[in-house]
Protein backbone atom coordinates (compact mmCIF):
# COMPACT_ATOMS: atom_id res chain seq x y z
CA UNK A 1 0.00 0.00 0.00
CA UNK A 2 1.31 3.44 -0.91
CA UNK A 3 2.04 5.69 2.08
CA UNK A 4 0.92 8.87 0.34
CA UNK A 5 -2.60 10.19 0.88
CA UNK A 6 -4.60 12.53 -1.35
CA UNK A 7 -7.77 13.06 0.68
CA UNK A 8 -9.64 16.10 -0.56
CA UNK A 9 -7.43 16.50 -3.63
CA UNK A 10 -8.53 16.10 -7.24
CA UNK A 11 -6.45 14.23 -9.81
CA UNK A 12 -7.08 14.42 -13.55
CA UNK A 13 -5.80 11.36 -15.45
CA UNK A 14 -5.62 11.26 -19.24
CA UNK A 15 -5.59 7.93 -21.07
CA UNK A 16 -7.72 6.62 -18.22
CA UNK A 17 -9.23 3.71 -20.16
CA UNK A 18 -5.81 2.13 -20.83
CA UNK A 19 -3.91 -0.30 -18.65
CA UNK A 20 -1.64 2.30 -17.05
CA UNK A 21 -4.38 4.90 -16.80
CA UNK A 22 -6.60 2.43 -14.94
CA UNK A 23 -3.80 1.54 -12.53
CA UNK A 24 -3.00 5.19 -11.85
CA UNK A 25 -6.63 6.17 -11.37
CA UNK A 26 -7.26 3.23 -9.04
CA UNK A 27 -4.16 4.03 -6.97
CA UNK A 28 -5.20 7.63 -6.46
CA UNK A 29 -8.76 6.64 -5.61
CA UNK A 30 -7.49 4.17 -3.02
CA UNK A 31 -5.36 6.99 -1.60
CA UNK A 32 -8.45 9.13 -1.04
CA UNK A 33 -8.40 11.38 -4.11
CA UNK A 34 -11.24 12.56 -6.29
CA UNK A 35 -10.43 11.31 -9.77
CA UNK A 36 -11.39 12.87 -13.10
CA UNK A 37 -10.80 10.19 -15.72
CA UNK A 38 -10.32 11.37 -19.30
CA UNK A 39 -10.17 9.32 -22.48
CA UNK A 40 -11.21 9.76 -26.09
CA UNK A 41 -14.07 7.28 -26.18
CA UNK A 42 -16.87 7.38 -23.60
CA UNK A 43 -17.79 3.72 -24.19
CA UNK A 44 -14.23 2.58 -23.50
CA UNK A 45 -14.21 4.70 -20.36
CA UNK A 46 -17.44 3.16 -19.09
CA UNK A 47 -16.16 -0.34 -19.88
CA UNK A 48 -12.93 0.32 -17.99
CA UNK A 49 -14.65 1.98 -15.02
CA UNK A 50 -17.90 0.14 -14.40
CA UNK A 51 -20.51 1.30 -11.93
CA UNK A 52 -20.63 4.54 -9.98
CA UNK A 53 -18.28 5.93 -7.38
CA UNK A 54 -18.76 9.07 -5.28
CA UNK A 55 -15.30 10.52 -5.93
CA UNK A 56 -15.08 9.74 -9.63
CA UNK A 57 -16.16 11.35 -12.89
CA UNK A 58 -15.70 10.00 -16.43
CA UNK A 59 -14.96 12.62 -19.08
CA UNK A 60 -14.68 11.92 -22.80
CA UNK A 61 -12.29 14.36 -24.51
CA UNK A 62 -10.04 14.59 -27.55
CA UNK A 63 -6.59 15.62 -26.35
CA UNK A 64 -5.73 16.87 -29.83
CA UNK A 65 -8.58 19.38 -29.61
CA UNK A 66 -7.72 22.20 -27.18
CA UNK A 67 -11.36 23.08 -26.68
CA UNK A 68 -12.31 19.49 -25.90
CA UNK A 69 -9.76 18.97 -23.12
CA UNK A 70 -10.43 22.48 -21.79
CA UNK A 71 -14.11 21.56 -21.45
CA UNK A 72 -13.21 18.31 -19.66
CA UNK A 73 -10.97 20.16 -17.21
CA UNK A 74 -13.74 22.69 -16.59
CA UNK A 75 -16.18 19.85 -15.87
CA UNK A 76 -13.73 18.33 -13.38
CA UNK A 77 -13.37 21.67 -11.61
CA UNK A 78 -17.13 22.16 -11.56
CA UNK A 79 -17.63 18.79 -9.86
CA UNK A 80 -14.68 18.73 -7.47
CA UNK A 81 -13.23 22.23 -7.33
CA UNK A 82 -9.58 22.80 -8.17
CA UNK A 83 -7.47 20.23 -10.04
CA UNK A 84 -4.47 19.50 -7.81
CA UNK A 85 -2.70 16.85 -9.88
CA UNK A 86 -2.48 16.25 -13.63
CA UNK A 87 -1.26 12.85 -14.83
CA UNK A 88 -0.54 12.81 -18.55
CA UNK A 89 -0.82 9.07 -19.17
CA UNK A 90 -2.22 9.14 -22.71
CA UNK A 91 0.18 8.21 -25.49
CA UNK A 92 0.80 5.71 -28.22
CA UNK A 93 3.42 3.57 -29.92
CA UNK A 94 4.06 2.64 -33.51
CA UNK A 95 7.17 1.43 -35.24
CA UNK A 96 7.86 2.05 -38.90
CA UNK A 97 10.36 2.13 -41.75
CA UNK A 98 13.74 3.91 -41.67
CA UNK A 99 13.74 7.67 -41.32
CA UNK A 100 14.33 8.26 -45.02
CA UNK A 101 11.19 6.25 -45.82
CA UNK A 102 9.04 7.43 -42.92
CA UNK A 103 5.49 8.47 -43.79
CA UNK A 104 4.79 12.01 -42.69
CA UNK A 105 1.58 10.78 -41.10
CA UNK A 106 3.52 8.47 -38.75
CA UNK A 107 5.77 11.32 -37.61
CA UNK A 108 2.81 13.58 -36.88
CA UNK A 109 0.84 10.77 -35.23
CA UNK A 110 3.60 9.97 -32.73
CA UNK A 111 4.09 13.62 -31.79
CA UNK A 112 0.34 14.23 -31.55
CA UNK A 113 -0.32 11.25 -29.28
CA UNK A 114 2.71 11.65 -27.05
CA UNK A 115 3.68 15.34 -26.98
CA UNK A 116 0.87 17.52 -28.32
CA UNK A 117 -1.52 15.74 -25.94
CA UNK A 118 0.65 16.86 -23.01
CA UNK A 119 0.77 20.47 -24.20
CA UNK A 120 -3.00 20.68 -24.60
CA UNK A 121 -3.66 19.09 -21.20
CA UNK A 122 -1.32 21.44 -19.34
CA UNK A 123 -2.83 24.46 -21.12
CA UNK A 124 -6.21 23.37 -19.74
CA UNK A 125 -5.03 22.76 -16.17
CA UNK A 126 -1.94 24.83 -15.34
CA UNK A 127 -3.56 28.32 -15.15
CA UNK A 128 -5.64 27.14 -12.21
CA UNK A 129 -2.55 25.73 -10.51
CA UNK A 130 -0.70 29.02 -11.00
CA UNK A 131 -3.61 30.92 -9.45
CA UNK A 132 -3.38 28.70 -6.35
CA UNK A 133 0.44 28.53 -6.34
CA UNK A 134 0.23 24.77 -6.00
CA UNK A 135 0.04 21.64 -8.15
CA UNK A 136 1.79 18.53 -9.43
CA UNK A 137 2.13 17.36 -13.03
CA UNK A 138 3.41 13.90 -13.92
CA UNK A 139 4.18 12.95 -17.53
CA UNK A 140 4.98 9.57 -19.09
CA UNK A 141 7.91 9.22 -21.48
CA UNK A 142 9.72 5.96 -22.25
CA UNK A 143 13.03 4.33 -21.42
CA UNK A 144 13.38 3.64 -25.16
CA UNK A 145 13.61 7.37 -25.86
CA UNK A 146 17.10 7.83 -24.40
CA UNK A 147 18.67 6.84 -27.73
CA UNK A 148 17.54 6.30 -31.28
CA UNK A 149 16.63 2.81 -32.46
CA UNK A 150 16.00 1.43 -35.91
CA UNK A 151 12.38 1.67 -36.92
CA UNK A 152 11.44 3.71 -33.83
CA UNK A 153 12.66 7.21 -34.69
CA UNK A 154 9.28 8.95 -34.54
CA UNK A 155 8.29 7.31 -31.25
CA UNK A 156 11.68 7.89 -29.60
CA UNK A 157 11.79 11.52 -30.70
CA UNK A 158 8.25 12.16 -29.47
CA UNK A 159 8.88 10.59 -26.06
CA UNK A 160 12.17 12.47 -25.81
CA UNK A 161 10.15 15.62 -26.44
CA UNK A 162 8.06 14.74 -23.37
CA UNK A 163 11.24 14.74 -21.26
CA UNK A 164 12.26 18.14 -22.63
CA UNK A 165 8.74 19.49 -22.02
CA UNK A 166 8.96 18.21 -18.45
CA UNK A 167 12.28 19.97 -17.86
CA UNK A 168 11.09 23.23 -19.41
CA UNK A 169 7.84 23.29 -17.46
CA UNK A 170 9.66 22.49 -14.22
CA UNK A 171 11.81 25.62 -14.61
CA UNK A 172 8.86 27.75 -15.70
CA UNK A 173 6.48 26.65 -12.96
CA UNK A 174 8.70 26.13 -9.91
CA UNK A 175 8.30 29.81 -8.86
CA UNK A 176 4.56 29.13 -8.69
CA UNK A 177 4.99 26.12 -6.40
CA UNK A 178 4.17 23.60 -9.14
CA UNK A 179 6.09 20.32 -9.47
CA UNK A 180 6.63 18.73 -12.89
CA UNK A 181 8.17 15.28 -13.27
CA UNK A 182 8.22 12.31 -15.59
CA UNK A 183 8.49 8.54 -15.52
CA UNK A 184 10.24 6.58 -18.27
CA UNK A 185 9.04 2.95 -18.18
CA UNK A 186 10.41 0.10 -20.22
CA UNK A 187 7.75 -1.92 -22.06
CA UNK A 188 4.68 -1.90 -19.83
CA UNK A 189 3.68 -5.39 -18.71
CA UNK A 190 0.15 -5.72 -20.06
CA UNK A 191 -1.84 -8.67 -21.42
CA UNK A 192 -1.80 -7.02 -24.84
CA UNK A 193 1.99 -6.65 -24.89
CA UNK A 194 2.50 -10.22 -23.71
CA UNK A 195 0.22 -11.46 -26.48
CA UNK A 196 2.06 -9.36 -29.07
CA UNK A 197 5.50 -10.54 -27.88
CA UNK A 198 4.98 -14.07 -26.51
CA UNK A 199 8.66 -15.01 -26.72
CA UNK A 200 10.02 -11.89 -25.04
CA UNK A 201 11.68 -11.76 -21.62
CA UNK A 202 9.05 -10.05 -19.51
CA UNK A 203 11.23 -9.72 -16.40
CA UNK A 204 12.43 -6.23 -17.33
CA UNK A 205 8.97 -4.95 -18.22
CA UNK A 206 7.24 -2.52 -15.86
CA UNK A 207 3.90 -3.50 -14.24
CA UNK A 208 1.27 -0.73 -14.32
CA UNK A 209 0.64 -0.92 -10.58
CA UNK A 210 4.34 -0.41 -9.84
CA UNK A 211 4.50 2.61 -12.16
CA UNK A 212 1.44 4.01 -10.39
CA UNK A 213 3.25 3.82 -7.03
CA UNK A 214 6.06 6.01 -8.36
CA UNK A 215 3.55 8.43 -9.87
CA UNK A 216 1.83 8.80 -6.49
CA UNK A 217 5.14 9.87 -4.96
CA UNK A 218 5.71 12.40 -7.75
CA UNK A 219 2.21 13.76 -7.15
CA UNK A 220 2.80 14.18 -3.43
CA UNK A 221 3.90 17.22 -1.43
CA UNK A 222 7.31 15.57 -0.95
CA UNK A 223 8.26 15.68 -4.64
CA UNK A 224 9.21 19.34 -5.18
CA UNK A 225 12.86 18.58 -4.41
CA UNK A 226 12.88 16.41 -7.54
CA UNK A 227 11.05 18.77 -9.90
CA UNK A 228 12.23 18.39 -13.49
CA UNK A 229 13.25 14.77 -12.97
CA UNK A 230 12.66 11.96 -15.46
CA UNK A 231 12.91 8.59 -13.75
CA UNK A 232 13.80 5.44 -15.75
CA UNK A 233 11.74 2.45 -14.59
CA UNK A 234 12.50 -1.22 -15.28
CA UNK A 235 11.16 -4.46 -13.86
CA UNK A 236 8.73 -5.02 -11.05
CA UNK A 237 9.04 -4.74 -7.26
CA UNK A 238 11.12 -7.17 -5.25
CA UNK A 239 9.05 -10.00 -3.79
Tens digits of pLDDT across the chain (239 residues): 457 999 999 999 999 999 999 999 999 999 999 999 999 999 999 999 999 999 999 999 999 999 999 999 999 999 999 999 999 999 999 999 999 999 999 999 999 999 999 999 999 999 999 999 999 999 999 998 888 888 899 999 999 999 999 999 999 999 999 999 999 999 899 889 899 899 898 888 999 999 999 999 999 999 999 999 999 999 876 65
Rounding to the nearest 10 degrees, give the CA dihedral for residues 19, 23, 24, 27. Answer: 170
- pTM: predicted TM-score of the whole model, two decimal places: 0.95
Q: What is the pLDDT of residue 3?
A: 77
* 49 alpha-carbon distance from chain centroid: 17
Domain covering 10-233 in this structure, CATH number: 3.40.50.720
155 is catalytic: yes
Question: Domain residue spans in the chain?
Answer: 10-233
6, 49, 111, 155: which one is catalytic? 155
Q: Around Cβ 46, how many Cβ atoms within 10 Å?
A: 14
First to last CA, the chain: 14
Q: What is the pLDDT of residue 149?
A: 86
Q: Could you write out the DSSP letters of every residue in 191-225?
A: HHHHHH-TTS-GGGSB-HHHHHHHHHHHTSTTGGG
Query: What 3-state class would DSSP assign to 133?
Result: coil
Q: What is the pLDDT of residue 185?
A: 95
Q: Could you write out the DSSP letters of every residue in 37-83?
A: EEES-HHHHHHHS-S--TTEEEEE--TTSHHHHHHHHHHHHHHHSS-
Q: Which residues contact 47 (CB under 8 A, 6 or more apart)?
A: 17
Q: What is the pLDDT of residue 13?
A: 98
Q: What is the pLDDT of residue 239?
A: 57
Q: What is the pLDDT of residue 1?
A: 47
Q: What is the pLDDT of residue 147?
A: 84
Strand-pair partners of 11:
35, 85
Q: What is the pLDDT of residue 148?
A: 82
Amino acid sequence: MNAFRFDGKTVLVTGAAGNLGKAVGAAFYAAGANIALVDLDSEHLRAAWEGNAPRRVLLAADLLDEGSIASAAAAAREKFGAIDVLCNIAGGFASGPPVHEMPTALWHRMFDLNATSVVHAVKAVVPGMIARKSGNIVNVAAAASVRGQAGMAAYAAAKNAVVRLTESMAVELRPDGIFVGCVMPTIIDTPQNRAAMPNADWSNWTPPASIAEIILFLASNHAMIATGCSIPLAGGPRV
